[in-house]
A and B are shown apart, each in its own frame.
Chain A
């Protein structure tokens, strides 16, 4: 067995250890250690991706001496390692760009706790991506929930605490429903590992008496994960959660954590239930409908926001709607579009959430549109990167947003269902229009000097250090790569799905 096959295990165990180690270290040392460790993690995950592409196959890794139906297993394929790589890069960029705000927002004695939580979160993300077992998914889902509440409350102001309480209640509801789904599936199949479960499900689904129970189990599980990721009727926690958290946390929560839940759902559908069984259920249509509602409602609510962060947060609701719409269309193309949008949105949203505080700090610390007048002129770098992110959100060609909208359109064409095609195309058109309206409004706001406001001096020159731009450049480049070489990425995702069976 090649040594590289051990790397997924190392990413999980080392991240758990790093979390516990940061608990002991002082703040500065914890920060330095975490940055070095994230570099190591990048190498580990990157080599797994190269290995899976080169060997053209996926591999399962037995956790312990007991093989598949009895012991735990993890699995790595192209799709998993691609997402893991993207998540690690975004994690690193968020920490690099967000660290100085963490320092401002937190007491010095607690900075090491922030890094403890970030490392535990990394472990949970890695485990959720690699897992081949539904119950392992649940356990690390719990860690992810707790750590995301933790990195939300680090600001210690009333609003984040309130948002965290709401976020925690909804997330626990989601976890509970997910657990209920897992329990029902276990009761029906007697397995927790995904592949044996799928084999049993495909036998059971031939019995018409079992189908309603199976649908209910999958439905409960889906509801749990969609509450956690913020699908349309459950998106109301988003503006407060993302809008008031410290920038690094907002970027991590919106671009990585909610996507990890969606990826777990995709993995469950493909590997634990089987797509042929899912297609017999009404669930894809419900996801499609709710996704489209989410796209429209999220955009409409974002238009009404008067605070930049809340606007960006509400546009997340719309983007999550896109992903579920892709899953609702079904077929490899729909799911490919969904995974591509996971990547595109993760790269774009982290860029936006990391630039908005830089626009705010040259506007007297306020994120209200009225105060942001001319902010893009006062901090030109931040304005430029915000523009790049906004272009991607609107779907201007060259950027990632356009490529993913193209994927959704193509996937809708290939469903061969006229109703689905019409609905998806209308949703894409309306959403692009609404996105353009509220992002162009922001653009006018940050680049105009009218309304009696002239160019102000940037308050603190030190905030213009070139180093702050490096993570932004990485994220913008990622955006451009996803936009320009989308065919290559789509090929990789296709390859990943072909190994997913």
Chain B
């Protein structure tokens, strides 16, 4: 009893943990290790022949696991389908439930100055949500940087280097003349199209997120077709940082100013413009530009982090 208690006090009773803690394994002679490896391999490959009690238990557990998994999935699907089938019908008029939508559609243009009602909704009526949303992508970029950016803990080994350099040389499409020629023709138009979507967010479908995504995609294609060199000359790492900082802090403060004046019933001095003109919709255009910049830089940053472990040349 006392021995058992001491074992528990020592933490020796936890079977799983001792398997996982590799640091505690003492050095053993080479022959013994070899023998152990051989036994382990045999055990793995001849799994079907071994029919221990533990194994049967495990098999039973996995069978049960599969069955319970399937049953609970089917149940969940059934319940959710039942829920969806019982939702109010589309177009079913209930004055309470269409109150908000009606105002967005009927008065959106004159209240926000944007012909694109969606832009008016996300950047004016519910701008606080979009303020959060514009920081989500930035947060993701930070997480990827922590995970992938090269530092003293995250270096390639020589072995990896050897293969990576050879692979990169073999798969480097930037030497491919077909891709380069096609790039000369289509990349400028894709980039311009991105700018067009970005600037027309308030008068036609589009806006910061979609335009920025197109611009970011064209940057990625540019880097893939011509190598990182040309992109780095006009978008070095420090500039990406500054663009992200400027755009996001402009967004926070511009919207903070609008929230502040709105809540305190002050005049905010931001002209709404004529609906339909390019300079309309009040803050929507500048905010779209800010969001587009962040999205483009972030997308290129992701590509660059995955490809070479830094968001730009430093």
Interface residues of A (CB under 8 A from B): 1, 5-6, 9-10, 13, 16-17, 19-21, 23-24, 61-66, 69-72, 74, 107, 109-110, 113-114, 116-117, 120, 123-124, 127, 133, 135-136, 139-140, 142-143, 146-147, 149-150, 153-154, 156, 161, 184, 187-192, 200, 203, 209-210, 212-213, 216-217, 304-307, 310, 368-370, 441, 444-445, 451
B263 with A17: CB separation less than 8 A? no
Closest to B83 in A: A216
Shortest distance between the CB of B285 and any CB in chain A (Å): 17
Cα separation A140 to B133 with both chains bound (whole Å): 8
B162 interface hit (Cβ, 8 Å): no
Q: Are A9 and B136 in contact (CB under 8 A)?
A: no
Cross-chain contact A143 with B135 (CB below 8 angstroms): yes
Task: Write the residues of chain B forming the contact surface with A, with a CB cutoff of 8 angstroms.
Answer: 6, 8-14, 17-18, 21, 79-80, 82-83, 86-88, 94, 96-101, 103-104, 111, 124-129, 131-133, 135-136, 138-140, 142-143, 145-147, 149, 151-154, 241-242, 244-245, 248-249, 252-253, 255-256, 258-265, 268
Given contacts A9-B256, A70-B125, A441-B9, contact A62 B146 (CB under 8 A): no
Choose from A16, A69, A71, A369 the contact partner of B252 (Cβ within 8 Å).
Answer: A16
Q: Is the CB of B14 within 8 A of A305?
A: yes
* A233 to B64 Cα, complex, angstroms: 17
A153 touches B146 (CB 8 A): yes
Q: Would you list 19 pairs from A and B whose C-beta atoms are within 8 A, ordered by A residue?
A: A6-B264, A10-B256, A17-B248, A20-B138, A24-B241, A63-B127, A63-B259, A72-B127, A72-B129, A110-B151, A113-B145, A136-B128, A146-B136, A156-B146, A161-B147, A188-B87, A210-B86, A368-B21, A369-B9
Asked if B99 and A190 sit within 8 Å, CB to CB, the answer is yes
Chain B: CB-nearest residue to A24: B245
Chain B residues whose CB sits within 8 angstroms of the CB of A5 once the complex forms: 263
Given known contacts A9-B260, A17-B252, A135-B126, A146 and B139 CB-to-CB distance under 8 angstroms: yes
> Which residues of the partner chain A approach B21 to less than 8 Å between Cβ atoms?
368
Given A109-B151, A161-B147, the answer on whether A200 and B129 have CB atoms closer than 8 Å is no
Interchain CB contact under 8 A, B244 and A20: yes
> Nearest CB to that of B256 among chain A residues?
A13
CA distance A161 to B151 in the complex (A): 16
- Complex-state Cα separation, A191 to B252, whole angstroms: 26
Give Cα A90 to B153, complex, Å: 30
Complex-state Cα separation, A120 to B140, whole angstroms: 11
> From residue A125, how far is it (CB to closest CB) to chain B in Å?
12
- A190 close to B96 (CB less than 8 A): yes
Q: How far is the CA of A133 from the CA of B127 in the complex (A)?
A: 12
- Say how far A463's CB is from chain B's closest CB, in angstroms: 22
A117 → chain B, closest Cβ, in Å? 6
**Within the assembled complex, what's the spacing in Å between the Cα atoms of A136 and B153?**
37
Please give, as numbers and ranges, the residues of chain A lying within 8 Å of B129 by CB-CB distance: 72, 133, 135-136, 139
Chain A contacts of B248 at CB under 8 A?
16-17, 20
Q: State how many angstroms separate the Cβ of A17 from the closest Cβ of chain B.
A: 5
**From B12, B245, B258, B260, contact of A23 by CB (8 A):** B245
Which residues of B have CB within 8 Å of A192?
A: 100
A116 to B98, CA, bound (A): 40
Distance A370 CA – B149 CA, assembled complex (angstroms): 37
Complex contact A146–B264 (CB within 8 A): no
A64-B143 contact given A70-B100, A306-B12, CB 8 Å threshold: no
The answer to whether B146 and A306 have CB atoms under 8 Å apart is no
Contacts of A143 in B (CB 8 A): 132, 135-136, 139
B139/A189 in contact, CB under 8 A:
no
Task: Check A213 against B149 for contact (C-beta < 8 Å).
Answer: no
Chain B residues with CB under 8 Å of A66's CB are 111, 124-125, 262
Are A306 and B11 interface neighbours, CB within 8 A? yes
* Residues of B close to A19: CB separation below 8 A: 135
Question: What residues of chain A lie closer than 8 Å to B131, measured between beta carbons?
Answer: 16
Known: A217-B83, A306-B11. A63 touches B262 (CB 8 A): yes
In the bound complex, how far is the Cα of B9 from the Cα of A161, in angstroms? 30
Contact of A147 among B96, B139, B147 (CB under 8 A): B139
Asked if A306 contacts B13 (CB within 8 A), the reply is yes
Set of chain A residues within 8 Å of B17, measured between Cβ atoms: 305-307, 310
* Contacting pair B96 A71 (CB below 8 A): no
A65 CA to B255 CA in the complex, in Å?
11
Expressed in whole angstroms, the Cα–Cα distance for A55 and B80 within the complex equals 45
12 new A-B contacts, CB < 8 A, other than A65-B258, A113-B145, A212-B86, are A17-B249, A20-B245, A62-B262, A72-B126, A107-B151, A109-B151, A120-B142, A133-B128, A143-B135, A147-B139, A306-B14, A451-B10
